[in-house]
Amino acid sequence: MAVVAAAVGGLLALQHRSSTRDAIASGPAAPPVSWPAGARRAPDFRLLDQFGRAVSLSSLRGRPVIVTFIDPLCRNYCPLEAKQLNELVRGLPAAKRPAIVAVSVNVYGNARANLLQDVAKWRLVPEWRWAVGGNRRLASVWRRYQIGVLVTTKRVAGVTVHEVSHTEAAYLIDGRGYERALFLWPFQAQDVRAALARVSAA
């Protein structure tokens, strides 16, 4: 367990910066970190989805959930991660599809118009639910999931710009509410699918 803890601590450093720049080619995928059933209870939270409805892990108990951390205004890595998760869900029978809860890492991008724009542009699956809220509530979720978020604010041509650097990570939560695997970007849909199959078979 000490080795796993060290691996998690090392991998969850700030990884990528969200901006409107072109996407940079991703490097090799980091191996997923995994935990046995019942070892790590996933921290619960209560936020709002893109329709203003409450979303929480406890309300999704009984089915696997992928909790990821996304910038709604990101135009480089976050859409690529969304694509992989979409492919994962679309490739599974309806009865075996996990819920996806995307916790926002950008409090400046949480307007419903931004969330719905991403639903359309990223062609998000129906299982995808955004999870947004105020800075204090979101920061509590980031901290409990060891997600680093750093906001740099500057003025560009008289316009205030917020650049968000954050950990690009996705947790697989089993139907009992325990963390079972952690994926650091870049990862592939098939890697998450394999972990999901192991969790579902347990």
For residue 86, what pLDDT is reported? 96
**pLDDT tens for each residue of 24-58:** 334 566 778 999 999 999 999 999 999 999 999 99
Q: In which element (H, E) is residue 10 found?
A: helix 2-11
For residue 158, what pLDDT is reported? 87
For residue 8, what pLDDT is reported? 45
More confident residue, 15 or 67: 67
* Arithmetic mean of pLDDT, 83-104: 96
The fold of the 31-201 domain, in CATH, is Glutaredoxin (3.40.30)
Q: Residue 134 has which token pair? A: 């105020």
Instruction: Sort 201 into a burial class: Cβ within 10 Å, 0-12 / 13-18 / 19+.
Output: exposed
What distances in angstroms separate CA 195 from CA 94, 103, 181, one per listed residue? Answer: 18, 21, 7
* Percent with pLDDT over 90 in the chain: 76
More confident residue, 68 or 32: 68
CB atoms inside a 10 Å sphere around CB 178 = 17
**pLDDT tens for each residue of 161-174:** 889 999 999 999 99
Q: What span, in angstroms and rounded, lies between the C-alpha atoms of 58 and 50?
A: 18
Task: Compute CA 44 distance to the chain's CA centroid, rounded to the nearest angstrom.
Answer: 14
Q: In whole numbers, what is the pLDDT of the chain averaged over residues?
A: 87
**pLDDT tens for each residue of 132-186:** 999 999 999 999 999 999 999 988 888 888 899 999 999 999 999 999 999 999 9
* Amino acid letter for position 100: I
For residue 5, name the pLDDT band (cuts at 50, 70, 90). very low
Query: Which residues, other chains included, contact 198 with Cβ-Cβ below 8 Å and sequence gap of 6+?
Result: 180
Report the chain's C-alpha Rg in angstroms: 16
For residue 25, what pLDDT is reported? 39
Q: What span, in angstroms and rounded, lies between the C-alpha atoms of 136 and 53?
A: 19
**For the packed helices 112-121 and 77-90, what is the interaxial angle rounded to 10 degrees?**
60
For residue 31, what pLDDT is reported? 76
The answer to whether the bond into 186 is cis (omega within 30° of 0) is yes
